[in-house]
Amino acid sequence: MAIAELNDTEKTQVQTLRALMGLHGLTVSDLSIRTFIPQENIEAFLSGTTASLSDASHKEFLRTLGMTERGELFTNRVHFWGVKMKRSRNKDNLLPLSNMLKLIGEHSAMALGKKKNITPILLKAGDTKIVLFVHGPRFMTINVADLGLNPGAFAGNHKVQSVPQYYYDLISMCALRPNYFDLVLEGTYINEDIDLLRMVALEHDVTLSELVNYVVRNDKRAVSNDAQSETKSDSQIIALHSGGYSSTVVESGALIQAARGL
C-alpha cells in the first residue's frame, strides 16, 4: 500500500481498528511487537492521514485484531473483548464497543454470573461470536441493555446458575471454541466436567489417556468433509453432550475395547 491519503472507506476502517484495539486492551507498542510492524508505521496509519502500511502489513494488522482482509470479523473463532464500567457509567469507556456495534449490526446478548468483578457477556451476530468481559465495581449489576446491547431470546436453559464450571472456565481462559459457544448460549449442554471422563475410564478399567487417544485417532472431522465418513466418525465418538453418565457408559463399551486393542 503506497503512501497516500486515506479514502473514506479506509478512514472508517481505521476507526474500527482503533475500537478493536481498545476492546483488546492493546497499545500501538503492543501491536508493533505482535505484528513486527514498525511502531511509527502503525501510528501514521492510525492517524488516518496516510496509508503507511504495505499490503502484507495491512493484512497482518487486520488478522491480529480478528478481522479478515475484507474488514469483517472472523466467524471461525470466538472473539474476546473487554470494557470497564465505573459507578458513574461513563459512556466514554463504552465508545469502542458502540463503534463496533455499528459494524456488527443485529445481535443478541446474554450475561453470565459475575466472578471477581467481571461479568462475561455472550454476544452473537449472525455467525460472529463474541465474549465481552465487563469489568465493574463489585456491587454493580451489569445489564446488557446498559451497554447498548440487545438482550437475547435464546432457546433452552440459559440460567446463570446452570452454566457448568467447565464452560465458565473455558470462557475465563479465553479458550471457548465456536461450537461450545453455541452450547452455552442455547443451553443445550449437560452439566458435565472432567469427572465424567474419569467415571467412564474407571468403569471400563482404562486410563484417561487411552480414552482420549482413541477419540483423537478416530476424529475424522479435521481430515474429511465426506458426509458419510463424518456420520460414521460421530457414531464412534463418545457423546459428551447427549445424555447423562449412564447412557455415555453404555455407548462407550465398544470404544474402550478398541482403545485397549481387545
> Which sequence spans correspond to the domains of the chain?
8-64, 78-186, 194-259
Task: Identify the pLDDT of residue 153.
Answer: 56
Q: How far is CA 29 from CA 21, 26, 44, 114, in A?
A: 11, 8, 13, 31
What mean pLDDT is predicted for residues 28-42? Answer: 93
27 membership: H or E segment, kind and range: none
Cell (9 digits) for 24: 483488546
Q: Does the structure show a pLDDT above 70 at 1? A: no
Q: How many Å separate Cα 249 from the centre of its chain? A: 31
150 near 109, Cβ under 8 Å?
yes
Tell me if residue 262 falls in helix, strand or coil.
coil
Q: Does the structure show a pLDDT above 60 at 233? A: no
Is residue 140 classed exposed, middle or buried when 0-12, 13-18 and 19+ CB atoms within 10 A define those classes? Answer: middle
pLDDT above 70 covers a percentage of the chain that reads: 72
86 membership: H or E segment, kind and range: none
Residue-wise pLDDT tens digits, 137-177: 888 888 888 888 988 755 444 444 457 788 888 899 999 99
Task: Identify the pLDDT of residue 223.
Answer: 55
* pLDDT greater at residue 246 or residue 29: 29
Q: Does the structure show a pLDDT above 50 at 234? A: no
Tell me if residue 152 falls in helix, strand or coil.
coil
What's the order of all strands across the beta sheet hosting 78-84? 78-84, 128-135, 118-125, 108-111
Task: Identify the pLDDT of residue 241.
Answer: 36
Task: Identify the pLDDT of residue 53.
Answer: 83
Cell (9 digits) for 6: 486515506
Q: In angstroms, rounded to a whole number, what is the distance separating the alpha carbons of residues 28 and 220?
A: 41
Cell (9 digits) for 79: 472473539
Work out whether strand 78-84 and strand 128-135 pair parallel, antiparallel, or are unpaired.
parallel
Residue-wise pLDDT tens digits, 56-100: 998 999 999 999 988 899 999 999 999 988 765 567 788 899 999
